[in-house]
Chains A and B, each alone.
Chain A
Amino acid sequence: MSEKIRGAAQQIVSLSERFDTQPTKRQKLAVLNAMLEHVSAIENSLGKKGEIGVGAKEKQALADELHIDKTHLRRALSPVGRAAYEGNVYGKIANLFFEPVSRLFLRLFPRVGRRTERTLRGAGLRVLSLSYVSMVLFACFVLLFVGTAVGAVLYYLYAYLWSLFVGVGLAVLALSVFVFYPLLLRRRRRRAQDREYPFVVTHLAALANGGAKQIDIFRALAFSHHSSYIGTELNMIINDVAVLGRSLPDALRHAAEGMSSTRMRQFLHEYASVVESRRDIREFLNGKSSDLLKEAERKTGGIRRYRNTYADVRMLLSQLRFQWVFLVGILGAIALLIAAFGYLSASMWFTPLLVVATLVGWGPFVMVVYSMYRRNKQLETHFFYLAQELKRTRNPTKLQRQYGELDPYVRKLMNQYRVGIPIEQTMTTFARDTDNPLIQSLVATVVESKKHGANFYDTLEQVTTSAILANVLKTDLR
């Protein structure tokens, strides 16, 4: 081992001596890269992977520099390719003790097993029904004994029978949590899927119109913002086709089985039969999407509008970063509250001061969130026009319109394209710079569908129109 390390270090010494004699920048870089490789070799022989230690604070600063929200950063940093699924530790432990009993239970009650499997899939939980039964049994068993033991300590003065009640009570509580939690999740997921259904179909139609074909449409959809509602099913379709070699109609039907939303299930079956009968998929999707959008248009307004605003605010909160003005507001509010309760509690100014303190405390926060909301909306509107102009010109250097908030990013886009950086890369940089989740997800979808042969500009325009239309319908801003 020592010889290896010594050899690599000596190589670095000789490379550092050669460094100054290199005539060009490129050659100097090559020497430095070679040095880094030797450093990695040393680290590997010491049993450490070649990685640079970055502290949490430094990591956060670097992430802030990227101007990218946490979800996208996580997605960007996640390893490319398919990772093997690892079961959860609790399930493994539970199976260790209860697997034979669970197996027997499922053999005796096959209907319960099938229903459990369907519920778990519908809820988007990645647990096998066998493991789930083991988990329920294990939790009940442990809580029965722990509860009884704790009860015995608590009620040792009265009667030991009470301790048994505590144990049984806890076990029943665990059982009901295990039964109702997936049902609750499934219901929530079904509602979300029903709500998003028209927009998912419109998005699919847009991708098909852009030139994406067969399974690639679903691959591209997995990169969009819809993946949070139907991610499990999309992955299932892609894996069935790409890994298990099933035909697309079979994969669609298989995914439809576990779909909690009835409408989406029907849609997947229809899609499968259209593919099988070799009908034009674009025609089918366009017809379906225009019908669904009309229906969505009728249903907008009222309570739905507030629910969508709530969803918008939740998204904004995930984008929010700490700002000093928040601290100033909170300190101001605290000072006013101290003044109100300490010196003016009997005065007529007490109530007005409380109101002012609330305004001062919440004011900066509300103002920042509102300005972010406005900025996002403006960026999205301008992006819509940008996508249209890009489709027309098919060349970012020929853009002529003014894009307001989006202008600096568009200028950067034009310059990068002019120096020869490919359009996918320039658009990805552009999306990252805007710090807008919708634009980022749209560009990611388009870049993905371009990889599978779709036309970049057509898909961008189609997908953007569909997403902006969805937003308009959701917030009823017509």
Chain B
Amino acid sequence: MSLDAIKLYAEAIVESSYEKEHHETILKLTGTLRKKILEERSKHV
């Protein structure tokens, strides 16, 4: 279910934010997270 995925990705961003070189990782995670949210959103429109 994409909602679980959303939660997982958001938690991964929280985890990555503690790391020193997090810029690239977070950028990638955010991109995927946005896609997952949009997927979920399209089900409810």
Contact = CB atoms under 8 A, between A and B. Distances in A.
A and B bind: yes
A323 B13 CA distance: 45
A31 to B, nearest CB: 10
Main secondary structure of the interface of B (DSSP, over half): helix
Contacts of B38: 36, 52
B30 A46 contact: yes
Nearest to A28: B44
Contacts of B31: 52-53
Contact of B23 (A9, A13, A46): A46
B17 to A, nearest CB: 4
Nearest to B31: A53
Interface string B10-23: 11011001100011
Contact of A13 (B7, B26, B30, B40): B7
Contacts, number: 69
Interface string B25-43: 0110011011101101100
Interface residues of B, number: 24
Nearest to A20: B3
Contact of A6 (B17, B27, B40): B17
Nearest to A19: B3
Contacts of A36: 34, 37-38, 41
Contacts of B30: 39, 42-43, 46
Contacts of A48: 27
Contacts of B10: 9-10, 12-13, 16
B37 A42 contact: no
Given A48-B27, A52-B38, A42 B44 contact: no
Interface of B: 3, 6-7, 10-11, 13-14, 17-18, 22-23, 26-27, 30-31, 33-35, 37-38, 40-41, 44-45
17 contacts: A2-B17, A5-B17, A12-B10, A12-B13, A12-B33, A20-B3, A29-B44, A32-B40, A35-B6, A39-B33, A39-B34, A42-B30, A43-B30, A46-B27, A48-B27, A52-B35, A52-B38
